[in-house]
Amino acid sequence: MCHYQFYICGMFVVYLEIRAEQNSYEQIYEIGDITMVRITTMAEDAQSVRLKVEGRVVGEWVSELDHFCTGFLVQNKMIVLDLSDVSYIDRRGIDVLKKVPADKVHIQGASLLVRALLGP
């Protein structure tokens, strides 16, 4: 069973999809028919959370990724961030990923370019 909550923010349509049977949710940001970024909580327990990020992490959407990560870090949770379906990430997105504590956030599936930009 799924249900959706829609929000209209200027020219953006934002909706939250809640899937009761999977105990997960997605935050999806769209401009018209183009989905920019989707952040899905794939699994969560008391100590950790696995987030799957899909699409383009650019502009305003970088703040949403930062908001998601900060929310879980404040709860003292380890984050596994799956970037395997990210098609593009801008400089601000790289900066956000660089600022998260490496001992609390594990990045998986990042492209070679993103890994190179993030450094060792």
Digit-coded pLDDT (tens) for 74-107: 999 999 999 999 888 889 999 999 998 989 999 9
On whether the pTM is more than 0.75, the answer is no
Long-range pairs for 111-115 at CB < 8 Å and ≥24 separation? 111/83, 111/86, 114/83, 114/86, 114/89
Given a cut of 80, is residue 44 above it in pLDDT?
Answer: yes
Note the CATH number of domain 37-118. Answer: 3.30.750.24
The one-letter amino acid at 23: N
Q: Domain limits of the chain?
A: 37-118
